[in-house]
Structure 1
Amino acid sequence: MFTNIGLRAVLKSSVGVLRESSALCSAVSVQPGTYSSALLCGQTVSRGSFAVPPPIRHYARVAKKTEIGRESQLSDLPPTMLKMDYAAVPLAQTTDDLVKRLLSLELASHSEKLKLKTEQLIKKVQRDESDRSSVEVQVAILTARIRNYQEHLQQHHKDKANKRRMLMAIDQRKKLLKKLRLFRYDTFESVCEQLGITYTFHPEYYRRVTHRWLTKKEFCIKVFKAVQKQKAEQKLKLKRSAHPTETEEAKETMVQAQ
């Protein structure tokens, strides 16, 4: 019995679907010119009790404007320049074009280009050709590393590890520049000018004074004074326990003097 009821329900639903599809075919087939012109105008076409909605126009999206970042520090390196390991080799200058292309920066990796750029910055500020450990050279190495981190973070702004390394390098360079500024100001100015560094001072500490902050400060001062007083009493007790004979002799002399 239940199977018969299920079959009847399925047959009724299939008959309804067939009727709707036949009505759609008749609406589309009758007067095709009128249907197409009405749809192009954006009007709804009705055929009896059946209505065909106008088509939805999916226009192309506006292209996003790419943000133009600052120019890379490696962009001034010509691609025909030889790598740092082969620049001093005389045989590399006389080879054919294919070998020169393999030894040039055109097919070099990013690390090799960065190494060459670091060497260029070092040559600007080093004291002599053998200088590799002075403060100026360390500042030049850190500058090339910081700019490389900044270019990397422009594309990968969620890279927290490299951001932390960049901030550590910035702090280290600021310490070196501060030391250089205190002892050799002329060298400090020339290094900043050659490397294009803008030295900024730390901002002055400022805190808005509130009633809660003043109350807490007074309480901290009271606690500090109480602790200092307690420490002084403990020191006095330790002195008296360490030299009891001196205190007794002082009392005897006081009695004799009286």
Structure 2
Amino acid sequence: MFTNITLRTILKSSSAILRESCGPVSASPRHCCSALLSGPKVSRVSGSFVSPPLVRQYARTSKKKDPGPQSQLSDLPPTMLKKDYAAVPLAQTTDGIVKRLLSLELANHTEKLRLKTEQLISKVQRDENDRTSVEVQVAILTARIRNLQEHMLKHHKDKANKRRMLMAIDRRKKLLKNLRLVRYDTFEKVCEQLGITYTFPPEYYRRATRRWVAKKAFCLKVYQEVQKMKLKKKAAAAAAAAAQTEAKSQ
């Protein structure tokens, strides 16, 4: 019973506040709504006010998307012809529509990647017909690795392509290692032309298991204790020698 009475009094007071803020009852509902939306107005009743309406963020600023790293295919101009039509002289003299169909503007990703691979091969190959040298294999693997790296940035859960990328990286490391041992000048040229940073592999690698870490810590502790005992023995021997010299001098 008490709760019903309190609810009625709250409703009556809120309706009175709305009437006072909107003006007389004869005012149009449009005028009343504009008065409410114009902002908070203090009512005539002391200690009471009309709360401002909720503002929805319709004009929220859009978040700028991160463009990410630049693709290796971004430097290819769209007017360049595809690999299969670059050596055809008739493709250079056709009209604009056919030329657009034969250019990279309407080409897919595979055709662009083939053209990029040919560009990298032309930088390091020994002659025009060279297709099997170590330098050409490194160039092909470099284009494939960079393509898979860009793919993994967008699809980081693609385990199959991640495995292919790691296998290609290991293969390129072996080729560069052998090339560095056989012809160092060619190795430097290939790394410079393709933009590869060669890092030396570690001399020794062992998987750090829990047992191996505990054994290593124990061995280090034993070594430190042995060194302390040796220092104590040396100090005792020096003290004994000093005592003997003093006894002889007396």
State the Cα distance separating 1:21 from its structure 2 match.
7.1
Structure 2: unaligned runs, 5 residues or longer? 25-31, 220-250
**Amino acid of the residue matched to residue 128 of structure 2?**
E
Shift of 1:23: 6.7
CA distance in 2, matches of 1:126, 1:136: 6
Q: Is the 8 A contact 2:82 2:111 kept in 1?
A: yes
Deviations 1:129-186 (Å, cap 9, x if unpaired)? 2211111111000100111111222222232222222111111111111111111111
**1:30-76 deviations in whole A, cap 9, x for unaligned?**
3316997787555786979x985433344455543433422211111
Match of 1:249 in 2: none
Equivalent residue for 1:122?
A: 121
Unaligned runs of 5+ in 1: 1-12, 218-258
Amino acid at match of 2:112: K
Out of 3, 7, 20, the position equivalent to 1:30 is: 20
Q: Quote how far apart the aligned CAs of 1:123 are.
A: 1.0
- For the aligned residue pairs, the C-alpha RMSD in angstroms reads 3.8
> For 1:174 and 1:211, how far apart are their aligned partners in 2?
30
Does the CA-based 8 Å contact 2:37-2:52 persist in structure 1? yes
Contact 1:140 1:195 in 2 (8 A): yes
TM-score after normalising by structure 2: 0.66
Distance 1:46 1:209, change over 3 A: farther
C-alpha contact 1:44 1:53 (8 A) present in aligned 2 = no
Q: Report the Cα offset of residue 84 of structure 1.
A: 0.5
Aligned residues: 201
CA contact (8 A) 1:83 1:104 kept: yes
Identical residues among aligned pairs (%) = 63
Taking the aligned partners of 1:46 and 1:166, their CA distance within structure 2 comes to 75
Equivalence for 1:54: 52
Query: Could you tell me which amino acid in structure 1 is paired with residue 105 of structure 2?
Result: E
Match of residue 201 from structure 1? 200
TM-aligned CA distance change 1:42 to 1:167, over 3 Å: farther
State how far apart, in whole Å, the 2-side matches of 1:189 and 1:154 are: 29
Equivalent residue number for residue 176 of structure 2: 177
Per the alignment, in what secondary structure is the counterpart of residue 31 of structure 1? helix
Q: Which has the larger radius of gyration?
A: 1
Gap change, CA 1:170 and 1:64, over 3 Å in 2: same
Cα distance between partner residues in 2 of 1:167 and 1:97: 43
1:161 is aligned to 2:160: yes
Q: Is the 8 Å Cα contact of residues 92 and 100 (structure 1) preserved in structure 2?
A: yes
Q: Confirm or deny: 8 A CA contact 2:40 2:50 kept in the other structure.
A: no
Closer, same or farther: CA 91–19 of 1 in aligned 2, 3 Å: farther
The separation in 2 between residues aligned to 1:211 and 1:100, in whole angstroms, is 66
Matches within 5 A, 1:128-139: 128-139=127-138
For 1:69 and 1:171, the matched residues in 2 are separated by 26
CA distance in 2, matches of 1:27, 1:147: 68
Residue 152 of structure 2 aligns with an amino acid whose one-letter code is L
Alpha-carbon deviations, 1:71-122, whole Å to 9, x = none?
Answer: 2111111111110001111111111111001100000001000000001111
Q: Match of 2:150? A: 151
